[in-house]
Structure 1
């Protein structure tokens, strides 16, 4: 059934209804904003409002900042820990360098003292000598020998004594053009004539294939005491007299055999020795023995005939 035209609603729907124009709204809002800014600047109208809002929102801001502060604290802790570890590593490296430098300085000081002692000993010797440096220890496990950096090219002779600032170390037993082999006093085949400083008793000291020495074939009632100092006697024509050799550490008097076993410790320890002095043997410096003259033969024959 058709609706009469007079009863139709001719008002526009709400979507198409138009209020104030956009320009009017812009002008109003702009004026309101300018007014509020001027009023806030001149009259401080919104200050209490802002203060109240800030007071209300402050606990909320603190709560919201807790995760951020925690994250920043974790980051600062991690960075600080890394810096501390880096500083510790740098400090340890610097300490190691200082310890190495101190050890090097101490080693150089000890070496300097040994060299000074060698120089002082060299000036006090009456035989010719020359310095040498120990290259390495011989590889033979059953002997005590070292190799020095002086040989026939430098004038080293066979059987030359080798000493340091503490005393006698050994004797040259092999000579090469640029090096020499030294048999130490503690070698099982080494022997050296000695003199007891206390009572001027002469004897012979032998190596024991270890780190010590001993006096062999000593009578059980021999005047030997613990602590006696032994020096070279000089009767062998090799070692100069008066060089320190060993010290008596134990005396075992065996009644059943009639001999005493005397243990010694060398005055010059061969371990860790680097610089030594090589002495010229005494028999090299001795004048040659005079040969018999031809004119002496008849006289000697006459003397023999007269004795008969």
Structure 2
């Protein structure tokens, strides 16, 4: 009889079978998470444990940066302080006139019955690091659910719009920059008042779309937020036009812009508070809640016909 010794190592399933099983399981988790967002709670829980590890990993870089700023020259700080004082004295006349114009603007708005502009408020945040995904433009800030940060809040710096909060964790939040391919901001050209939408290209640049080829757009035009999306307050600087391609064979012109804010730089940002919801007057709200949209449209048409007959 042929007796074989027992195998030295216990053999399990074939490696190819294990590979196929793990690939199928990974694809199933990706589909379930993308469709139903079922793993969001697990992701939130894991972020609580990985946050101290991330802080410890960034500790040497923070110590190096702090030591470099600590050993800065005292003479340089004094020169900067003197320069800032000089600039402040030179701009004091403009500042005083601006304050007077703001008061006058508020008085005129009250006289004309125009609604007062919403004031911007928020909290400062520190950029920790950029996201590891090379195909997106995202950053991580040190404010999260503990600081009452919500998804959708606008993020700005001292020059203009930086991006928008898209994902919030207990201690940090993820901000999608305006240069990301999936980000769009409604804007308005300051010089002409034209409204359009600016889209990120994913390479640090922006593109102004949906403007005809003969639109009055020039290099150097300033783009500010129009506020039509209900997210960004109107009037914040967004980008500047740098290149225009006009082709008569296409209906729209290709307008390339560069962002004004330091979207690709590591610095401090401000997370603005969400805009309050627009409330309709009580009669209009009651009428809109009582009848569907089609009924409202029909009633408007009948009123127009009645006025024409009269």
TM-score bracket, normalised by the shorter chain, equals 0.5 to 0.7
C-alpha spacing 1:178/1:262, structure 2 compared with 1 (3 Å):
same
Compute the displacement of 1:287 (Å). Answer: 3.9
SS, match of residue 174 in structure 1: strand
Moved over 4 A (4+): 97-100, 288-291, 293-297
Residue 101 of structure 1 pairs with residue 72 of structure 2 = yes
The reply on whether 1:196 has 2:189 as its aligned counterpart is yes
- Counterpart-to-counterpart distance in 2, 1:295 and 1:188: 37
**What's the TM-score once normalised by structure 2's chain length?**
0.55
Query: Alpha-carbon deviations, 1:168-199, whole Å to 9, x = none?
Result: 00001111122111000111111000010000
State how far apart, in whole Å, the 2-side matches of 1:240 and 1:185 are.
Answer: 15
**Which of 158, 166, 174 lines up with 1:173 in the alignment?**
166
The whole-number CA distance in structure 1 between the counterparts of 2:269 and 2:155 is 7
8 Å contact from structure 1 (residues 245, 268) kept in 2? yes
Q: 2: CA distance between counterparts of 1:295 and 1:246?
A: 40
Residue 184 of structure 1: aligned partner: 177
Whether the 8 Å contact between 1:172 and 1:181 is mirrored in structure 2 is yes
Equivalent-residue separation in structure 1 for 2:69 and 2:148 (angstroms): 43
Q: Alpha-carbon deviations, 1:154-173, whole Å to 9, x = none?
A: 11121100000000000011
Following the alignment from structure 2 to structure 1, what is the Cα–Cα distance between the partners of residues 215 and 209?
12
For 1:294 and 1:249, locate their aligned partners in 2 and report how far apart those are by CA, in whole Å.
Answer: 45
After TM superposition, the score normalised by the length of structure 1 is: 0.55
Corresponding residue number in structure 1 for 2:265: 272
The alpha-carbon deviation at position 293 of structure 1 amounts to: 7.2
Q: Distance in 2 between matches of 1:294 and 1:230?
A: 35
For the residue of structure 2 that corresponds to 1:153, the secondary structure is: helix
Report the Cα distance in structure 1 between the residues aligned to 2:71 and 2:290, rounded to whole angstroms. 73
Contact 2:176 2:183 (8 Å CA) reproduced: yes
Structure 2 unmatched runs, 5+: 1-67, 85-94, 96-116, 303-310
Would you say 1:292 and 2:278 are equivalent positions? no
What SS does structure 1 have at the residue aligned with 2:286? coil
Quote the residue 2:219 is aligned against. Answer: 226
How far apart in 2 are the matches of 1:98 and 1:173?
32
Q: How many positions carry a matched residue from both structures?
A: 195
- Describe the shift of the 1:285–1:277 C-alpha distance in structure 2 as closer, same or farther (beyond 3 A): farther
For 1:230-269, what aligned pairs fall within 5 Å after superposition? 230-269=223-262
Q: CA RMSD in A?
A: 3.7
How far is 1:99 from its partner? 12
- Partners in 2 of 1:134 and 1:152 — Cα distance? 16
Shift of the alpha carbon at 1:127? 2.7
Q: 1:152 to 1:252 in 2, by over 3 A?
A: same
Is it true that 1:158 corresponds to 2:119 in the alignment?
A: no
Query: Which has the higher Rg, Structure 1 or Structure 2?
Result: 1
1:132 aligns with 2:122: no
TM-superposed CA distance for 1:281, in Å, is 2.3
